[in-house]
Chain A
Amino acid sequence: MIFGVVALLIVVAISPGIGSQPIGVARAWGSVFGFGEAGESSVEASIVREIMRLRLSRTICALLAGTTLALCGAVTQTQFRNVLATPYTLGIASGGALGAAISVLLGLDQFGFGLPGESLGALLGCAAVVGLVLLLAGTLYGLSGNSLVLAGVAIGFFCSAMLMFATYLADVREKDRIVRWMMGSVATFRFREPLQMLGPMAVSWAGMIACGPGLNQLQLGEELASARGVRVGLLQVANIGFASLGTACVVSLCGPIGFVGLLVPHTVRLVVGRDHRLLLPVAGVWGGVFLIVCDWLARLLPLWWGRCFSGEISAAALPIGVVTSAVGAPVFLLLLCKDRAIRKNG
């Protein structure tokens, strides 16, 4: 835990120094707190300030999204007793994507209440899916684990089909917008969007962590948990509710960034064990670290590539969804093999 917090502080601190323009960590922070040369009103100083603002808002965005996705992943895996469960298992991402696509098609930007059209559409799409999942499972199956997962998967497929149809109808520019949104991005130009989401996200974090002791009992099965005095039905609804709230915020803010919700909780579980009182906060902190580092790579890889091969310096950043999975999957495989080797020998 302490390790994680220290790592988080370090990555947040050096994050503004990383990117295509070498401005240096000290200069970057200096521009905010007004020390060093950057306090001057030269043109250069204002450029540094601008870059700092961009990078810091990205970093905050990645931190919030990573923390939320890791927490949501951890509680979803426990609740459904399924190692493959992710924050998107209940079809939230597909619903959000469909909502975003529809808002692009209809050109809803002007109704966004300050949010981009995609964000608002995604939020509505997510809300619709969560509502439908809860309603369906509540009346037809009584919220039991596997039925609920299946219902979520079915809804996810339906939304994906509709999304494909929407993409088919879209013109080239709209298509491009939809596809880019689907890849996920923490790029933002202001602090406003991530900070707007901070409130609901913090509620979802607190809610999920408060569910921790109950989730510990739920690991032993619903029957035993219920005999120990856990209100299993209430716990499950609360858990789905908080996880969905957090996931919806992330999807609306950054698009469906994949793999964080699977990789981080499993990795942390290998190290700290299954006690959710510890697992959840640690997973949250490391989720933030992971996504910030992935964002560095998203910004730096095109740069390095350009330097090594084409000689030009490219300022474009990769979509972060590409990095999380491309980097995360091999790392995760390594960890799995290592863990297996340890268990065999020990």
Chain B
Amino acid sequence: MNNGAFLTMSDVRFGYPRGAVFLGPCDLAVRVGTFHAVLGPNGVGKSTLLRLACGVLTPSGGVVTCEDRNLATIPELERARRIAFLPQRFDAPLDLSAREVVMLGRFPIRRNRFFDSLEDERAAGECMATTGVGDLGDRRLGDMSGGEAQRVHIAAALAQKPGLLVLDEPTSSLDPYHQMEIGGLLRKLCDEAGLTVLVATHDLNLAGQFADCVTLVVDGAVVCTGTPQETLTPDRLRSVYGVPFERFCKSSQGRSWVFPIPEEAMTVS
């Protein structure tokens, strides 16, 4: 294994046919059992990077390697048993129940697609319990809060029994409490279930608190990768986002938080 990396992107490039976003060349290594966050301004290609990482898109140049195999050569179903993906937005029909959504996640791994086995039921139940939605069973998606729905979708991703969980902005529409809850859940999955997690997010402090490793992306290229402490410095964030940042430290916990501070010219009088 190369340095215990679950997923490696080397010299990966990608262009959409109409040329909307051009990505690369990108190098990235997601190590086994780590929580890896990808940060960067809107439209720099974070989502594209994630789609390449989970194999939904195939790079137009370079190679994505998953557990020492070229991702593009792994058959679709086998790939889905290694990597689960949760897009930022997808419109699931609102009358699906929590259990139905999670059972759908069994698709790549189940033996018989037409009849649910006891094993499928049991695995779905376990995944729901893991994400704390074990009691939602028959509740419909349309009757859930955003936080509940997100945990149901994460349970569905877990039902694939993947080694790597790829999530695009899992906290973007949640309040601070539920952001922390999802962040903590993902952290727990890394620590206790040995899962590798790759997340794209705009939430600098969520990444700072929960992630082991942060990658900054600007204009389709990886700027730097490292621990949150190394990467999320006010100077670098200023150059990435074009806004001044300040860092606050709480020495008792050894943690730090960064906040954008508007310049005089930007404040509305």
Residue ranges of A at the interface with B (Cβ–Cβ < 8 Å): 81, 212-213, 216-217, 219-221, 223-224, 226-231, 273-275, 277
A217–B55 CB distance below 8 A? no
Chain B residues, CB < 8 A from A213: 107, 113-114
Select one of A228, A273, A275 contacting B80, CB under 8 A.
Answer: A228
**Contact flags B109-132 to A (C-beta < 8 A → 1, else 0):** 000011100000000000000000
Q: Are A229 and B91 in contact (CB under 8 A)?
A: no
Measured CB to CB, the closest approach of chain A to B181, in angstroms, equals 22
- Cβ-defined contact, B85 with A224, below 8 A: yes
Alpha-carbon distance between A220 and B87 when the two chains are bound, in angstroms: 10
Determine which residue in A220, A221, A228 has the highest number of CB atoms from chain B within 10 A of its CB, and name it. Answer: A228
Selected interface stretch from B92-100, B171-179, B184-192, B212-220: B92-100
Q: A217-B104, A221-B87 are in contact. Are A227 and B80 (CB under 8 A)?
A: yes
Contact B76 A229 (CB under 8 A): yes
Chain A residues near B83 (CB-CB < 8 A): 227
B202 within 8 A of A: no
Q: Which of B56-87 contact A (CB under 8 A)?
A: 56, 76-81, 83-87
A223 and B87 in contact (CB under 8 A), knowing A213-B107, A228-B80?
A: yes
Shortest CB distance B119–A (Å):
17
- Which of B84, B104, B115 lies at the interface centre, i.e. has the most chain A CB atoms within 10 A of its CB? B104
A229 pairs with B79, CB closer than 8 A? yes
Binary interface profile of B, 177-213, with partner A (CB < 8 Å = 1, else 0)? Answer: 0000000000000000000000000000000000000
Task: Tell whether B237 is near chain A: CB-to-CB under 8 Å.
Answer: no
Chain B neighbourhood of A273, CB < 8 A: 95, 100
Q: For residue B73, give the distance in angstroms from its CB to the closest CB of chain A.
A: 15
B83, B107, B108: most-surrounded residue (chain A CB, <10 A): B107
Specify which chain A residues have a CB less than 8 angstroms from the CB of B155 in the assembled complex: none
CB within 8 A of A229: which of B77, B86, B95, B114?
A: B77
Residue from B81, B93, B115 whose CB has the most chain A CB atoms within 10 Å: B93
- Tally of contact residues, B, Cβ under 8 A: 30
Contact A227 to B54, CB < 8 A, known contacts A220-B92, A274-B95: yes
Q: Tell yes or no: B248 within 8 A of A by CB.
A: no
A231 to B76, Cβ gap below 8 A?
Answer: yes
12 A–B contacts, CB within 8 A, in A order: A213-B107, A221-B87, A223-B56, A223-B87, A224-B85, A227-B83, A227-B85, A227-B87, A228-B80, A228-B108, A229-B108, A274-B96
The reply on B105 being an interface residue by CB < 8 A is yes
Given contacts A224-B85, A228-B105, contact A219 B80 (CB under 8 A): no
B234 → chain A closest CB, angstroms: 35
Q: Which chain A residues border B96 with CB–CB below 8 Å?
A: 219, 274
A221, B156: Cα distance in complex, Å:
14
List 10 additional A-B contacts (Cβ < 8 Å) besides A221-B87, A226-B56: A81-B91, A221-B90, A223-B51, A223-B90, A224-B85, A227-B54, A227-B55, A227-B83, A231-B76, A273-B95
Q: For residue A274, which residues in chain B have a CB less than 8 angstroms away from its CB?
A: 93, 95-96, 100
Most buried by B among A212, A220, A227, A277: A227
B142 nearest CB neighbor, chain A only: A343
Asked if B34 is an interface residue, CB under 8 A from chain A, the answer is no
Contact partners of B225 in chain A: CB under 8 A: none
Compute how far the CA of A187 lies from the CA of B95 in the bound complex, rounded to whole angstroms: 40
A220 and B103 alpha carbons, distance in the complex (Å): 13
Also in contact, A275 and B90, with CB within 8 A (given A224-B85, A227-B85): no
Measured in the bound complex, the distance between the Cα atoms of B77 and A223 in whole Å is: 14
Q: Is the pair B160, A224 in contact by a Cβ cutoff of 8 Å?
A: no
How many angstroms from the CA of A227 to the CA of B76 in the assembled complex?
8
Question: Are A229's CB and B84's CB within 8 A?
Answer: no
The chain B residue sitting closest to A142, CB to CB, is B17
Task: Tell me which of B55, B76, B100 has the highest count of chain A C-beta atoms within 10 A of its own C-beta.
Answer: B76
Chain B residues with Cβ below 8 Å from A277 are: 113-115
In the complex, the chain A residue whose C-beta lies closest to that of B91 is A221
